[in-house]
Amino acid sequence: MTTMKHFIDLADIQADEILDLLDLAASLKQNPKAADSQRLAGKTLGMIFAKSSTRTRVSFEVGMYQLGGQALFLSTQDIQLGRGETIADTAKVMSRFLDGIMIRTFSHQDVLDLARYGSVPVINGLTDLMHPCQALADLLTIKEYFARLAGLKLAYLGDGNNVAHSLLQAGAKTGMHVAVATPHDYACDEKIVEAACEAANKTGGKITVTADALEAAKDADVIYTDTWISMGQENEKAERISIFGEYQVNEHLMSLAKNHALFLHCLPAYRGLEVSEAVIDGPASKIFDQAENRLHAQKAVLVRLMES
């Protein structure tokens, strides 16, 4: 049984807890109408959105409904955070009403402060630094196809962003070889890479950081990319397209991976930029299985944090 109090950063979660979440997610996916499916009956999740969302909002709302609870959508303009109320006051007030809080926002510190000042579980739905819910769904997808995680190679190509950070943590904790290829000025946070290397040393995993997309893709079991232009970076679009061009996942790059390699993308995707149409709509692409697994992985997190 987990000792998790929050789901904020995979670096803070033990390897056996991650595997437990994956097992529970698989069980919930296989038996969505099982007798114990209403495990959060009477529970309410507050969902704070400072960033717009498709998959995060829908999957958490549906997940709470399927577990017998309910979710409240709260944009920052709907609550007093949008008018300057502190995170501390918001956390204390919402803890009196809710059984859990999910937040999707810019600053990672906001999530940490919600957990610090509140008294209910806090889930990181995304920050500029981390995206642990996405990484957990990615692990679930990979495990479904390969029946294991340890020993597999995942190559991530593109921007060293929140998704890359959480994939480094997830892979390191589960004994995978994670190879990240980014332009030099868009590399992953050095401290996160160092922590991932330490975790990989304990699990038999491996971390590779390079600027060479072809090197990272060689013999990979999974090829992964994300948009080059995240929310808030729209004014950098032209510059980023020029810089990231050689990191596009296309047929040539996929040919360097193993024959059975999967293609993953956390979505939304921009065909013709970070990935070619032939790859994302081809037989190796499992992006919609991956998107669906956000629901099942997050249901597992909700159960472990909010079931009493």
Active site residues: 104, 131, 134, 226, 266, 294
Q: Could you say which DSSP state residue 249 is in?
A: B
Burial of 174 (0-12, 13-18, 19+ CB in 10 A): buried
Asked whether 133 and 297 are in contact (CB, 8 A), the reply is yes
A 10 A CB-CB count for 1 gives 6
Asked whether 302 and 24 are in contact (CB, 8 A), the reply is no
Cα–Cα distance measured from residue 59 to residue 292, given in angstroms and rounded to the nearest whole number:
8
Classified as helix, coil or strand, 56 is helix
Asked whether 273 and 228 are in contact (CB, 8 A), the reply is yes
Beta partners for residue 230, in sequence order: none
